[in-house]
Amino acid sequence: MIVANSRETKESTYDTAYEDGRRTAWRRVLAECLGELGYLLKEERQIAQLVKEREETIAILRYLCRDFGDNEWNEELNLADIIEKHLGDHLYDRGFKE
């Protein structure tokens, strides 16, 4: 049994390392793409800030959509689409216009 537990631990460690490496690679691709678009985001902490801001925005949108729209969307949807289709349309339907 000790061998099995040791093997499971090694596999779990390998899986974690693999996932960490995969995410790091994608963050680097994202940084390169953003750089090409004119954003000078080369540091991982800056990328982490973008992810953090998105996560916070999603949380606020969930709250607002619950009260003023609908929450029938997933977190991977474009933020503009969430605002337009799942919040804005409902606000316009309620008479909130310019």
* pLDDT on residue 9: 64
Q: Residue 65: what pLDDT?
A: 94
- pLDDT tens-digit profile of 29-72? 877 777 777 766 566 667 777 888 888 899 999 999 999 999 99
- Residue ranges of domains in the chain: 1-42, 43-98
Tokens read off for 97: 């216009």
Is the Cα torsion angle 42, 46, 48, 51 positive or negative in sign?
Answer: negative
Q: Provide the token pair at 60.
A: 């606020």
